[in-house]
């Protein structure tokens, strides 16, 4: 029996959905803040090499908390 493809996800897809990238893309400010407060590094790229900042560059509500925890360039 073949799996139904509409309910199958790769590990990369699951990782994306659980990570900060999905929250940023969906504009879920509360979830972004929760993920960041748990210590997630927003500079870590997803499997397509996008960071949370790149994922949602048009929403100040998303960008603001991400920028607040991004490591400084001179560190």
pTM for this prediction: 0.64
> Does 57 score more than 60 pLDDT?
no
3-state SS class at 14: helix
* pLDDT tens per residue, range 4-52: 666 788 888 888 888 888 888 888 888 988 988 898 888 888 888 887 7
Instruction: Give the mean pLDDT of 49-71.
Output: 68
Q: Outline where 1-75 has alpha helix (H).
A: 11-18, 20-25, 29-37, 52-55, 60-69
């Amino acid at each position: 029996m073949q799996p139904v493809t509409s309910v199958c996800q790769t590990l990369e897809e699951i990782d994306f959905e659980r990570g900060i990238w999905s929250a940023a893309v969906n504009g879920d400010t509360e979830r972004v803040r929760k993920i960041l407060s748990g210590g997630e590094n927003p500079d870590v790229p997803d499997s397509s090499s996008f960071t949370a900042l790149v994922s949602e560059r048009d929403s100040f509500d998303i960008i603001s908390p991400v920028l607040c925890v991004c490591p400084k360039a001179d560190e």
